[in-house]
Amino acid sequence: MFQIFVLVSVFICISCLVGGVAILARVLHGRNQMEDRLASLTKNRGRGNAQEKRSLLVGTLEDSTSQLEAFLAKIFDIQGLLNLAGIKMPVGQFVGAALGLGAGLTIVFLYFAPYFLFAPFVFLSGVALPFFVAIFKKKKRLRRFSEQLAEAMDMMSRALRSGYSLPAGIQLVGQQMSEPLGPEFMRCFEEQKLGIPLEESIRKMVERIPNLDLQFFATAVILQRQTGGDLAEILDKISSLIRERFKIWGQIQALTGEGRLSGIVLLALPPMLFIVMMRLNYDYVMLLFNDSLGQMMLAGGIVMQILGAFVIKKIITIKV
């Protein structure tokens, strides 16, 4: 029975590795055609610029989407996650890399530490690692976008007072600001150059970037173009609001720092202690898996860990 489990685990790992390589090869085969089409339509110089501005057209240009990518899109918006994280990688290639990483880590783990019972957990951890990295990059990128937005509002306000039009102000922000805000505003400007109304381009930017202050900006622009008013003054007020919010957020981070550190220690202590005890007394730890009472205790401990993480997260998270 144990040998069958080992053979099945190795077969799954190798199959995932081969599947990941196949998906990667299929995706790379169709990327050159997509980049050439984007380069000819947007008149970008160089293939790198074409890849960065791959969605400037009214309809998104994509090569043939596989059934796997369509199925994953229904379950979890991986493409949206990659876009927000700033990862220039197709969905199929990203999923293939995740499966390959999980299979590779499992093979390495079984080679150095033949604890076959933990092989599925190692595989799932390897598959989940790229997603955790993408989520971390997404949060960091959105945070950076929020920090840049106040300066962008000031720049547009000064441009409007100097006699620039609103599209010209958006272009100025796109040219002067760095990642991630600059390319998003430049994309909005180039969309309206290709014939999309400016209001619709701004709405699409709000859909791509889930930011409350950006929604205020979009609402102000749409109302001003419909009813008139001093848009420069409104942008100044939005900029002031963003800066006050960051000031309050910094105070909250300082007050909840102790709670966040305590949560990290409390959540990391049981897994670290489990690993240490497994190295010191393997048979003693295996009672948690072999004995029925030990299995109940292990399940209860995992549930309590998850509940504890949720409660600590709710305590230290204060929305501003």
Render pLDDT for 224-271 as a digit per residue (tens, 0 to 9): 888 877 888 889 998 998 898 888 888 888 888 888 888 888 888 988
Look up the pTM and report it: 0.65
Render pLDDT for 23-45 as a digit per residue (tens, 0 to 9): 544 444 444 444 444 444 444 44
| Pairwise CA distance, residues 220 & 175, whole Å | 22
pLDDT at 49 over 80: no
Residues 6+ apart with CB under 8 A from 144: 179, 180, 181
Render pLDDT for 215-229 as a digit per residue (tens, 0 to 9): 988 998 888 888 877
Q: What is the mean pLDDT of residues 76-104?
A: 85
* Residue 56 structure tokens: 């400037």
pLDDT at 68 over 70: no
**Residue 67 burial class via C-beta count within 10 angstroms: exposed 0-12, middle 13-18, buried 19 and up:** exposed
Termini Cα distance of the chain? 55
| CA dist list (Å): 303 to 15, 296, 298, 308, 310 | 32, 11, 9, 9, 11
Cβ contact 190:52 at 8 Å: no
| Pairwise CA distance, residues 74 & 89, whole Å | 19
Q: How many CB atoms lie within 10 A of CB 96?
A: 24
| Pairwise CA distance, residues 299 & 306, whole Å | 11
Q: How confident is the model at residue 190 (pLDDT cuts 50, 70, 90)?
A: very high
Question: Which region among 54-58, 170-174, 183-187, 291-295 has the lowest average model confidence (pLDDT)?
Answer: 54-58
The identity of residue 292, as a single letter, is S
Mean pLDDT of the chain: 78
Q: Mean pLDDT highest for which of 47-61, 114-128, 227-241?
A: 227-241
Helices H / strands E in the chain, number of each: 14, 0
